[in-house]
Structure 1
Amino acid sequence: MLGWWIVIYPETGTIPEHTLASWESGLGGLDWLRPLLDSGHASQLQGNGYPNRYRLAAHAVLPLLQAGAPGKGPLSSYHPERVAACQPEQWLIVEAWDQS
């Protein structure tokens, strides 16, 4: 499959114990990050696909998660109790692993 495996977790957390959500997406699966990067609500920490890593403001991404998987693809895992425990001022990490 060409695309991405995406995992979101708190900046102070680890995978899988603190994962908020994860999903697979196609090639355009990271397009939802562009507006967050452009607005300053996200920054790219690492890029090369192994993984691409982003830091996002929780207040900007949590509403997207609550509506389903941002981008393309259904959520593979979602932990509403962990999402509800996040504070709006908290930072989250998005890891996007290249699946090609």
Structure 2
Amino acid sequence: MIGWWIVVAAQTPEERDQAIDTKLALLANWEVGPRGIDWLHRLVKAGKASQLAFSGYPNRFTAQACDVLPLLAGGPPAHQGPAIIGDDYVMPANWKGNLIFHQDKIAACPSDQLLTIDAWDLS
């Protein structure tokens, strides 16, 4: 596995699936190495998030903004991922890239907003 592309949106899963333009509700998206969704699993274990899909195309989670947005204040949550060496690429340990954080939208997001977090398998 190469890692994950994570998309955080200020929409319910139903709103996200029915939206014509999904970019309007986009709060953040980024790519991380294989253990880059551990923070989501910790939220699920703590009862602060639910995992709705497990396929990787995508793995889908929901959580309240008050539980997720503080974790994104300094960018993507830290993770302890291994280095990945492929046929024509090398990704260093704890790699993250292609970061897009809409700080204005994050700041304006109500704390009780249900977020949809999709984690797409980059393999």
Query: 1:17 is matched with which residue?
Result: 24
Q: Quick one: which of 74, 77, 85 aligns to 2:100?
A: 77
For 2:54 and 2:61, the matched residues in 1 are separated by: 9
- Letter matched to residue 30 of structure 1: I
Provide TM-score, normalisation by structure 1.
0.90
Aligned length: 100
Q: Deviations over 1:38-80 (max 9, x none)?
A: 1111000111000000001111111111121024425610101
Pairs within 5 Å for 1:17-96: 17-72=24-79, 73-74=96-97, 76-96=99-119
The alignment's TM-score, normalised by the length of structure 2, stands at: 0.74
Aligned residues: CA RMSD:
1.7
Query: Within 2, Cα distance between the matches of 1:74 and 1:67?
Result: 14
Q: Flag the structure with larger Rg.
A: 2
> Structure 1 stretches of 5 or more lacking a match?
none
1:58 maps to amino acid? A
Identity %: 45
Partner residue, 1:7: 7
Structure 1 runs of 4+ with >6 Å offset: none
Q: Distance in 1 between matches of 2:27 and 2:75?
A: 12
Higher share in helix: 2
Which runs of no fewer than 5 residues in structure 2 stay unpaired?
17-21, 80-95
Is this contact kept in 2: 1:68–1:74, CA < 8 A? no
One-letter amino acid matched to 1:57: Q
